[in-house]
Amino acid sequence: MANPIEHGGAAAQSNSFRQQPDEHGHFGGRYGGRFVAETLMPLILELNEAYEAAKADPAFHKELVYYQTDYIGRPSPLWFARRMTEAFGGAKIYLKREELNHTGSHKLNNVMGQILLARRMGRTRIVAETGAGQHGVATATVCALFGMKCVIYMGATDVERQKPNVFRMRLLGAEVVPVTAGAGTLKDAMNEAMRDWVANVADTYMLIGTVAGPHPYPAMVRDFQSVIGEETKAQMQAAEGRLPDVVVAAIGGGSNAMGIFYPFLDDVSVRLIGVEAAGHGLDSGKTAASIERGRPGVLHGNRTYLLQNADGQIDEAHSISAGLDYPGVGPEHSWLNDIGRAEYVGATDTEALEAFQLCTKLEGIIPALESAHAIAYAAKIAPTLSKDTLLVVNLSGRGDKDIFTVAEHLGVSL
Amino acid sequence: MSRIAARFKALAAQGRGALIPYLEAYDPDRETSLELFRAMPAAGADLIEVGMPFSDPSADGPVIQAAALRGLKAGATLVGVLDMVAEFRKGDDETPVILMGYVNPVESYGYERFCKDAAAAGVDGLILVDLPPEEGAVIAAPAQAAGLDIIRLVAPTTPDARLEYVLGHASGFVYYVSIVGITGTRSASAHDLAGAIPRIRAATDLPIAIGFGVRTPEQAAQAASIADGAVVASALLATLAQTLDEQGRATSQTLPRVLEQIRGLAQAVRAAGQQPE
């Protein structure tokens, strides 16, 4: 299996796209960074040192690979979606099956890396934010595995629309704290998790679930998630003898996308497409498409594209998918957008619902609503592409958690 | 000499520390907060901190969060906050005014334009909670050109080696965050403060104010005598919140009760005087 994190700074060419961020955590000199209160600064710096040390330690890699293989169940398959390919009538569609990981999404890749790091650092208490609950469940899972105290902050709105995951987290022994501030979604949960961390710095590790937050989180989470892209590369090589032509992934904070994009950044023949949640539509005012409808600003420790008003107040995001309902995006995506190395597009709530049903009926795979956004965009472009085009969709999570939301939108009462 | 330096110098000559009350701009509406602002010096405020409301105040506790939301609901913008300071300055040219908030609205406004406009309005210093010196280059030059002090936070978690670095980027005074946590939750003990302040003194000649967790007249007096000033925020905002009606509007009790509390704090700070170092 590809070593998931050793490539962090190992790209050979000087013109590589894989040498970001710089030592200050800046991507392209502008995005990312460390925008946190002084109380947290020493902790962020300590975390950076600890992560650099772990990255250079073969024992850490060995331990991570052990858990990836025997606990998460990696590698995940790259599935040729025959019926979907026929239905779309164009590009050959492959699905990277991250929904088959333990806990049902790509989230565990990152969580496992960070919990091993937290243990190395001697921390005993974990706090995390969650939107859809996938990151919360993954975090609660590893805390159960290692017998660590776990507190999950979740927006009150999300607690309501993701009840099964809330119950899972509690079964796993986590304390789930509903956050009523703001609209009660992921952004508010993130604020509250940061408040907890700042008040409990001595024993607490903050386990951020996406490629955002102060440096080193965006780079570290990307490194832990890059196992997705490394495997995809090798698996496509084995199946087709070459690289894919197009890689499509959904973007909320952007960790599953960064994980599958990163190993392909220097393979410039590979088109990388990030699909943001357009909500009711990109221009509806009810959207979560931070790159397409936002502008750069500073929130939650980093500079990145944000949905904000003219005065720099952060707007509420909207998406049918709780996991994409966030007004920001990882800073590396902001940079990749600006330099044109990746394309960022949107899929609406309605398109995601259609794709959710389509994937379920054609492939027998119920995708997460988050991943359904990527499928929706693949469905849009596949017919315009030649039959020898290889298109990979990152199927980042399974949709069992979403059946209540989907049923409600389809007018079915369960 | 800047208003901040002049004020701390004058207070040192009197042998006492400063009382620095905080108000959230537009909380619960522009007129009430401006009236409070104007009445603060007579009630005993030596310097005044004005909060710039932000939608996501991640270093603040529930009391300041709620105040910021009330301010935003009442229509607070940075233009509006600067306008309030300009109004205040018409009647007071001596009391230093420090704006405190988060960096995104300022970045959105534009660092250079903001520093120019803030100085023109009569602002003396800025505290941007989530802009550590590592990221501070964006504002250092514009602030210096405009004559604004950049007030740096120092926390109990700040190690000695870092103290020097942070204070190398500070001006005006040093804001000591006395607890490890968010605003308005816990309070530091006199013992903790007595241990912490000499460590900072050794690293800077700037005056030191203590904030986060200073609530009562006794705590304010203690903080102002151990250091050079005490910032009181959440305790005042909590009082203000208690006086609002069910729709969150100001009542006849709002100004009198907050000002009475400031008078009580000021009295204690003045009575305590400054302990010889």
Residue B127: partners with Cβ closer than 8 Å, 6 or more residues away: B49, B98, B99, B100, B101, B151, B153, B175
| Residue in A191, A202, A312 nearest the CB of B104 | A312
> pLDDT tens digits for B68-101?
999 999 999 999 999 999 999 999 999 999 999 9
Q: How far is B240 from chain A (nearest CA, A)?
A: 20
> pLDDT tens digits for A114-127?
999 999 999 999 99
The percentage of chain B sitting over the pLDDT mark of 90, rounded to a whole number, equals: 89
Find chain A residues with C-beta within 8 A of B129's C-beta: 37
pLDDT for the residue numbered A383: 98
Residues A30 and A117 in one domain: yes
Q: How far is A347 from chain B (nearest CA, A)?
A: 27
pLDDT for the residue numbered A157: 87
Find chain A residues with C-beta within 8 A of B71's C-beta: none
**Kind plus residue range of the DSSP H or E element containing B154:** strand B152-154
Nearest CA in chain B to A304: B104
Is the predicted pLDDT of residue A353 greater than 90, yes or no? yes
Residues A126 and A270 in one domain: no
DSSP letter at A151 equals E
Question: Helical H runs in chain B?
Answer: 3-14, 30-43, 62-73, 78-91, 103-109, 111-121, 137-146, 160-167, 190-201, 217-226, 234-243, 254-272
- What interhelical angle do A41-55 and B160-167 show, nearest 10? 120
Closest-CA residue to A221 (of A235, A236, A210): A210
Does residue A118 fall inside a structural domain?
A: yes
Q: How far is B88 from chain A (nearest CA, A)?
A: 22
Does residue A1 fall inside a structural domain?
A: no
Is the predicted pLDDT of residue A88 greater than 60, yes or no? yes
| Residue in B58, B78, B157 nearest the CB of A194 | B58
pLDDT for the residue numbered B252: 98
pLDDT for the residue numbered A8: 42
pLDDT for the residue numbered A142: 98
| Binary contact (B152, A42; C-beta < 8 A) | no
- Which is the catalytic residue, given A98, A99, A129, A231? A129
Is the predicted pLDDT of residue A182 greater than 90, yes or no? no
Residues A96 and A59 in one domain: no
d(CA B79, CA B87): 12
Name the band, by pLDDT with cuts 50, 70 and 90, for residue A14. low
Does residue A11 fall inside a structural domain?
A: no
- What interhelical angle do A331-339 and A217-225 show, nearest 10? 80
- Which is the catalytic residue, given B24, B60, B124, B149? B60
Q: How far is A212 from chain B (nearest CA, A)?
A: 15
Question: Which range marks the domain in which residue A286 is found?
Answer: 75-104+226-409
pLDDT for the residue numbered A347: 98
Is the predicted pLDDT of residue A6 greater than 70, yes or no? no
**Residue A52, Cβ density class (10 Å: 0-12 exposed, 13-18 middle, ≥19 buried):** middle
d(CA A147, CA B10): 57
Is the predicted pLDDT of residue B179 greater than 50, yes or no? yes
Find chain A residues with C-beta within 8 A of B159's C-beta: 42
| Sheet arrangement for strand B125-128 | B149-150, B125-128, B97-101, B48-51, B18-24, B229-232, B208-211, B174-177, B152-154
Q: Which residues of A60-96 are buried (b: 16+ CB within 10 A; e: fewer)?
A: bbebbbebbeeebebbbebbebeebbebbebbbbbbb
Does residue A355 fall inside a structural domain?
A: yes
Backbone angles phi, psi at B201, to 5 degrees: -55, -40
**Residue A3, Cβ density class (10 Å: 0-12 exposed, 13-18 middle, ≥19 buried):** middle
Q: Are A186 and A131 in contact (CB under 8 A)?
A: yes
Residues A191 and A277 in one domain: no
Is the predicted pLDDT of residue A241 greater than 60, yes or no? yes
Chain A CB within 8 Å of residue B72 CB: yes
Q: How far is B136 from chain A (nearest CA, A)?
A: 9
Chain B CB within 8 Å of residue A34 CB: yes
Q: Are B133 and B102 in contact (CB under 8 A)?
A: no
Chain B CB within 8 Å of residue A39 CB: yes
Could you give the C-alpha distances from B60 to A93, A226, B63, B106, B276, in angstroms and in order?
48, 35, 8, 18, 33
Other C-beta atoms lying within 10 Å of the C-beta of residue A321: 27
pLDDT for the residue numbered A70: 98
Find chain A residues with C-beta within 8 A of B132's C-beta: 34-38, 41
Does residue A5 fall inside a structural domain?
A: no
- Which runs of E-coded beta strand occur in A165-234? 175-179, 204-206
Question: Helical H runs in A213-284?
Answer: 217-225, 227-240, 255-261
Residues A206 and A291 in one domain: no
Report the greatest alpha carbon distance in chain A. Answer: 57
Is the predicted pLDDT of residue A140 greater than 50, yes or no? yes
Chain A CB within 8 Å of residue B103 CB: yes
Residue B88: both structure tokens together: 């205040």
Q: Which of residues 215-244 of A touch B (CB under 8 A)?
A: none
Is the predicted pLDDT of residue A7 greater than 50, yes or no? no
- Cis peptide leading into residue A21 (ω within 30°): yes
| Binary contact (A37, B153; C-beta < 8 A) | yes
Among A8-12, B27-31, B113-117, the least confident range: A8-12
| Binary contact (A33, B54; C-beta < 8 A) | no
Residue A130's domain is classified under what CATH number? 3.40.50.1100
Residues A161 and A242 in one domain: no
Residues A269 and A285 in one domain: yes
Which one of A221, A245, A278 terminates a domain? A221
Gyration radius of chain B over CA positions: 17
Residue A241: partners with Cβ closer than 8 Å, 6 or more residues away: none
DSSP letter at A398 equals B
Q: Which of B26, B54, B55, B183 to mutate to test the interface with A (most CBs of A within 10 A)?
A: B55
Residues A242 and A362 in one domain: yes
| Binary contact (A36, B77; C-beta < 8 A) | no
B60 is catalytic: yes
pLDDT for the residue numbered B276: 47
Which pairing describes strands A125-130 and A92-97: parallel, antiparallel, or unpaired?
unpaired
d(CA B189, CA A16): 53
| Sheet arrangement for strand A31-35 | A26-27, A31-35, A301-306, A295-299
Residues A196 and A274 in one domain: no
| Residue in A34, A198, A298 nearest the CB of B59 | A198
Is the predicted pLDDT of residue A377 greater than 80, yes or no? yes
Name the band, by pLDDT with cuts 50, 70 and 90, for residue B154. very high
pLDDT for the residue numbered B140: 97
Q: How far is A294 from chain B (nearest CA, A)?
A: 12
Which one of A172, A190, A221 terminates a domain? A221
Residues A362 and A400 in one domain: yes
CA angle B25, A300, A251 (to 5 degrees): 130
Residues A132 and A245 in one domain: no
Number of domains in chain A: 2
Chain A CB within 8 Å of residue B31 CB: no
Does residue A315 fall inside a structural domain?
A: yes
A96 beta partners: A78, A394
| Residue in B106, B129, B186 nearest the CB of A37 | B129
What are the structural domains, with CATH classification, of chain B? 3-271 (3.20.20.70)
| Residue in B77, B135, B159 nearest the CB of A33 | B135
Chain A CB within 8 Å of residue B263 CB: no
Find chain B residues with C-beta within 8 A of A180's C-beta: none
Which one of A158, A188, A221 terminates a domain? A221
Mean per-residue pLDDT, A299-304: 97
A306 beta partners: A295
Residue A33: both structure tokens together: 């960074």
| Binary contact (B182, A42; C-beta < 8 A) | no
Does residue A94 fall inside a structural domain?
A: yes
Q: Are A246 and A271 in contact (CB under 8 A)?
A: yes
Residues A393 and A296 in one domain: yes
pLDDT for the residue numbered A161: 78
> pLDDT tens digits for A250-300?
999 999 999 999 999 999 999 999 999 999 999 999 999 999 999 999 999
Residues in chain B, total: 277
On the CB side of B201, CA atoms within 13 Å amount to 11
Does residue A250 fall inside a structural domain?
A: yes
